[in-house]
Structure 1
């Protein structure tokens, strides 16, 4: 069942797991996202696929993070 897309802005990952997922076509992974700034709600997913990935670097950007992971910006 498809529910929609999740878009993330992340700090620079410490490993290559996200990049590997983005570069492996049709690789389903399970996971969850916990929102700490609100009431700690969690969104879980099974067999999720990374359909788009983009990195951009902004030196010194401590508010938004240095790395953007999400759909390509047009």
Structure 2
């Protein structure tokens, strides 16, 4: 299980935005996760547990308690 460095960079960017709260960004805070890896392999519970623990440990993410799972339905299993 590898944690994408792009996700870490994105989280760091959001942390910088969060440093100056405004009415637009004082609502819910959290992370978005994909349901698949880049090789189209579906993630399992252990993968999400790993990602959630890594995200929780990121500096500047205190209070970020929300996670959303996204999939675009672009990965199809052969019939």
- The two structures have a TM-score, normalised by structure 1, of 0.25
Q: Which has the higher strand share?
A: 1
Write 1 or 2 for the structure with the bigger share of helix: 2
TM-score of the two chains, using structure 2 as the length reference:
0.24
